[in-house]
Chains A and B, each alone.
Chain A
């Protein structure tokens, strides 16, 4: 039963993996903006006995630059705790003797400094933003179509992300474009690739069932993690859209009540408090004393594409 599963999970929980953009902060002008409560939440997680890692598909900067930015926003994070696609891609390139043509953001190019790039035999695309010009895409296409065995790596496969001035197309869109143009299938490096999640778990030395992934992207964060046997928690900040609850697999749910009710359930070490208001939900981790069993409710969407029974029960309990 759903509630028993969740409580078992929390009892066995040894590690938490946090997505970054949309969970910790929203990107945009300058460094962006920290999401209310997230700085505190990270502090509390670090103070607990859980292991903590950060998993991002961020490819608009090197890890060092990215972590420095988060430091300026007030977060206490170090480079070794962060897993991102570019370093993972470099490992793959070395293992397979590949030389990439890069279509990536200028600021992430340094991650590839140690890699041979002349006479490319593969193409790597990342979240290149304004570098996604027709000319640049065409160059990447021409390299791919000219290879006897076209190899395309995509650093993530997200559809879009939220910036302060609106939603913007993510790398997955251009991955699909090149896949279609060349009739090839890209290899995804980063979320939701199982290999990527497994490398984080290996670093923590824990089993998938002992890990919780928290993210704002239903498919790439939560879906990807759950496919590896991890637990997933969807937060309603960042790119989250209530429309996801209207998709066919959630059709029995009429609406998520937009009231400000707080629901908490108390495993032994941690509580997850979620405040449900319209579409600006915060994720806060607090340490509180256990309450009695009857006040506990299952406050997360725990399965993707959607265990409708659990979800319906959850909504009815609101």
Chain B
């Protein structure tokens, strides 16, 4: 293996990696504490579109994780940035709880569509509304294109299938701001004075977490919790730097080999 620069930052996925819905992955809190004692910066990166930063933070604190709001970077923040830069008035297909991160953005007479994970909006009527806007020229901005995610009672469709469907309907391409887009990972590292080659990503989604991170120059560790399914590691190229059981094991590896 080629010599790599010293590790300066660890990006950690939330849902499926540190916790699954309202339960922490066993041993994760303690593993995070051990990681923090090492000379690395830590960032929590997530494509979760249902929840604003404050809600995410509250859950993580309830689960006894030692995390600060400024360490959280979400694809919602990335989307808001894009909407503001282009002065757009979006139709927001987002869960109610995510709207807080868009407060102050004009949404009447929409000329753009922002689409996240919003099952209540993925009905025929609302999707037709979004479709007609995009067909008339409104940009389609996707928080991310996750295919599915894990709930306690099984897998559930993410926003990706609906974004893909709208792209096909309108013969356009969405601008995707979340994982696995390169810009997402680079934005997450922006204020850490850290090159991608000096960073590593830990996540449960082979394509979106590990594949995306490795594509931007980082290393990736795939954990077998959350939405992981047997054989996922073979679905990306190059394969993950490491595939291991869970977040605590990933931290063990980092502390033993990379720091």
Contacts and interface: CB of A to CB of B under 8 A. Distances in A.
B185 interface: no
A315 interface: no
Given A145-B148, A169-B127, A137 B157 contact: yes
A134 B165 contact: no
Interface string A165-179: 011111011101111
Contacts, number: 85
Given A141-B148, A181-B147, A167 B161 contact: no
A254 B135 CA distance: 21
A145 B155 contact: yes
A228 interface: no
Interface string A130-144: 111110011001100
Contact of A173 (B120, B145, B158, B165): B165
What range describes how many residues of B lie at the interface? 20 to 34
A167 B131 contact: yes
Contacts of A169: 124, 127-128, 131, 165, 169
B84 to A, nearest CB: 29
Nearest to B129: A166
Interface in B126-151: 127-128, 131-132, 135, 145, 147-148
A314 interface: no
Contacts of A166: 128, 132
Contacts of A142: 154-155
Interface in A151-202: 159-160, 166-170, 172-174, 176-183
A159 B168 contact: yes
B156 to A, nearest CB: 6
Contacts of A180: 145, 147, 160-161, 164-165
Given A160-B131, A176-B168, A181-B147, A130 B161 contact: no
A193 to B, nearest CB: 17
Contacts of A138: 156-157
A173 B168 contact: yes
A289 B198 CA distance: 81
23 contacts: A130-B125, A132-B124, A133-B124, A134-B119, A134-B123, A134-B157, A141-B148, A141-B161, A159-B171, A166-B128, A168-B124, A168-B128, A169-B169, A173-B169, A174-B165, A176-B165, A177-B157, A177-B162, A180-B145, A180-B161, A180-B164, A181-B147, A182-B147
Interface of A: 129-134, 137-138, 141-142, 145, 159-160, 166-170, 172-174, 176-183
